[in-house]
Structure 1
């Protein structure tokens, strides 16, 4: 009879709200071992499936975006690189998206709190935004990082050169993340589960959910080119099922032109919201949320000074014919 498989697990209560090299590790592992994390969503339990918009007004940002860990990896030294192989990501059964007053790309345009609760059906490849709008599941962890190399405490909300709250939608199962190690043991943590998100997360939230994540953590030597997060994604056919690939119907894009990159980004986003409200029967608040969970910002022109060109794209495959269970695009 063989030896039982070793189980390495981080629980929901094993969390921290700051990045610091002085936080004691919750576990110590060997390089190359796999750890499973049971991670709460970015609200840290402050939002529940029964919540209303009142929960947004009572939201304590100091308790948001917890990291689960940290994990000490034997043999990890400053100057090394931690390779994080994302092996598996299992979603919870519900999620949320919110407009938070004073937060987000268009905070001045949307001053009122709004909260959307999503149902996640494990038998379906998508979640339903509303009748006729389906968003394909593409789960990822918004937070993956190691401890900074300098003394002090740092918020978990902005990303750092050592990772953290990167909110990078490409870090799905099958991808590998590379992080520069700045302190002995690396002290890796993760969290902030997402069901799906667009590039930019413009309203400030994605489709936020709990996640159970299985990650393999490996120390790599002699990789001096990794001075900030880098990653590798799997081949397209591995990342998406054949049905997902065949459902592609192209994109609609809106462009913002301005001498200021941030203002060009706002213009592109506002134009997409206008298109969605005029052509897809969405309220302005619904359109803003949809740009955050499905719209993707791209820099299409940055050399013809003094103006920059930023576009927001929206996949047309998310718009389906009502009554078609598999989602047939218009």
Structure 2
């Protein structure tokens, strides 16, 4: 049987904010079929290309991380694996990064940043060159991926799309780009696949709570695989393809040391923000956002207790000239 391609547009009727195995499928496909989707951004399209920091005052966090679906995959049964192949990921012409204040703030230093900030990114002008401009002298490589990719949980009830689970969800993993595969452990008949939360770029950790959030046109292939009991949580496989223009020039990193892993991470981020302010002339808010879209958090040492060592690193290839105001 020839495999088919199906399309899902973004509408209220096929978008949800919860994982729930009782949700009615918006589409039924066969194993091996391809789907294309028009996906909202992680804020539910509440900002546009002309939004400003003042627009955050009307932002409704209850609409965050919407997922489009679910898609029922024929022959998918509990114990199987759903293989998701990312064939194409196309960001919109603009994106946004925000520091959200108060109870809305998901950032790792949310208790230290109290002023709302919104940056609108131009994702169109330099799209063919593979980057977006943070500010004069700082270019961020565009590596699109989806923050939310998952399937229904076996437990009854409603489960928010904001956290990640063993069945996927808001995993925010920047390595699952075009050409990569994600493997999910099926818990209910049909798997009930959904996705959303397009990112044009993100650092490991997404430390200020947002990446370069953007609407996305995505194309994927969904396939059922049997007899892979080792897949109990999300697994992924990358293609190894890297854009030549972003050959590494090395990185600058700050270590945070603490007996508490979260506090070690916070120390590393603080140190990186201080370096970006002192060495590169960025404001603290700019440094926080840059660490979220381009910096990587790494556990570099975990055995010499009672302390952990966490690094916050910044690729030096993003600095392309004198940094403007």
User: Which deviations, in whole Å up to 9, do the C-alpha atoms of 1:14-57 show, x marking residues without a partner?
Assistant: 21111100110000000011100110101111111111222222
- 1:134 and 2:139 equivalent? yes
- 1:61 and 2:66 equivalent? no
In structure 2, what is the equivalent of residue 124 of structure 1?
A: 129
How much does 1:7 deviate? 3.7
Could you say what secondary structure the match of 1:70 adopts? strand
From 242, 245, 266, give the equivalent of 1:243.
245
From 146, 165, 175, give the equivalent of 1:160.
165
Q: How far apart, CA to CA, are the structure 2 residues paired with 1:282 and 1:202?
A: 17
Q: How far apart, CA to CA, are the structure 1 residues paired with 2:118 and 2:40?
A: 18
Tell me which moved more, 101-110 or 27-36. Answer: 101-110
CA RMSD, 1 decimal: 1.3
Q: Deviating runs (4+, > 3 A) in structure 1?
A: 4-7
- 1:143 and 2:145 equivalent? no
Could you say what secondary structure the match of 1:212 adopts? strand
How much does 1:322 deviate? 4.9
Listed as ranges, the matches of 1:201-220 within 5 Å are 201-220=206-225
How much does 1:6 deviate? 4.4
In structure 2, what is the equivalent of residue 291 of structure 1?
A: 291
User: Which deviations, in whole Å up to 9, do the C-alpha atoms of 1:151-192 show, x marking residues without a partner?
Assistant: 100110011110000000000011100001110000000000
In structure 2, what is the equivalent of residue 42 of structure 1?
A: 42
TM-score normalized by the length of structure 1 = 0.93
Task: Note the residue ranges of structure 2 that are not aligned, 5 or more in a row.
Answer: none
How much does 1:321 deviate? 1.7
TM-score normalized by the length of structure 2 = 0.95
> What count of residue pairs does the alignment treat as equivalent?
315
Q: How far apart, CA to CA, are the structure 1 residues paired with 2:112 and 2:322?
A: 30
- 1:199 and 2:204 equivalent? yes
From 9, 12, 22, give the equivalent of 1:11.
9
From 232, 235, 239, give the equivalent of 1:230.
235
- 1:169 and 2:174 equivalent? yes
Tell me which moved more, 50-59 or 283-292. Answer: 50-59
Q: How far apart, CA to CA, are the structure 2 residues paired with 1:228 and 1:5?
A: 27
User: Which deviations, in whole Å up to 9, do the C-alpha atoms of 1:97-127 show, x marking residues without a partner?
Assistant: 0001132100111011100000012333100
User: Which deviations, in whole Å up to 9, do the C-alpha atoms of 1:287-328 show, x marking residues without a partner?
Assistant: 0000000000000110101000000110000000259xxxxx
Q: How far apart, CA to CA, are the structure 1 residues paired with 2:62 and 2:9?
A: 21
In structure 1, what is the equivalent of residue 114 of structure 2?
A: 111
Could you say what secondary structure the match of 1:291 adopts? helix
Q: How far apart, CA to CA, are the structure 2 residues paired with 1:300 and 1:77?
A: 39
In structure 2, what is the equivalent of residue 303 of structure 1?
A: 303
How much does 1:5 deviate? 8.9
In structure 2, what is the equivalent of residue 20 of structure 1?
A: 20
In structure 1, what is the equivalent of residue 274 of structure 2?
A: 274
Q: How far apart, CA to CA, are the structure 2 residues paired with 1:116 and 1:264?
A: 28
Task: Note the residue ranges of structure 1 that are not aligned, 5 or more in a row.
Answer: 324-330
Q: How far apart, CA to CA, are the structure 2 residues paired with 1:182 and 1:68?
A: 19
Could you say what secondary structure the match of 2:62 adopts? helix
In structure 1, what is the equivalent of residue 88 of structure 2?
A: 88
Could you say what secondary structure the match of 1:22 adopts? coil
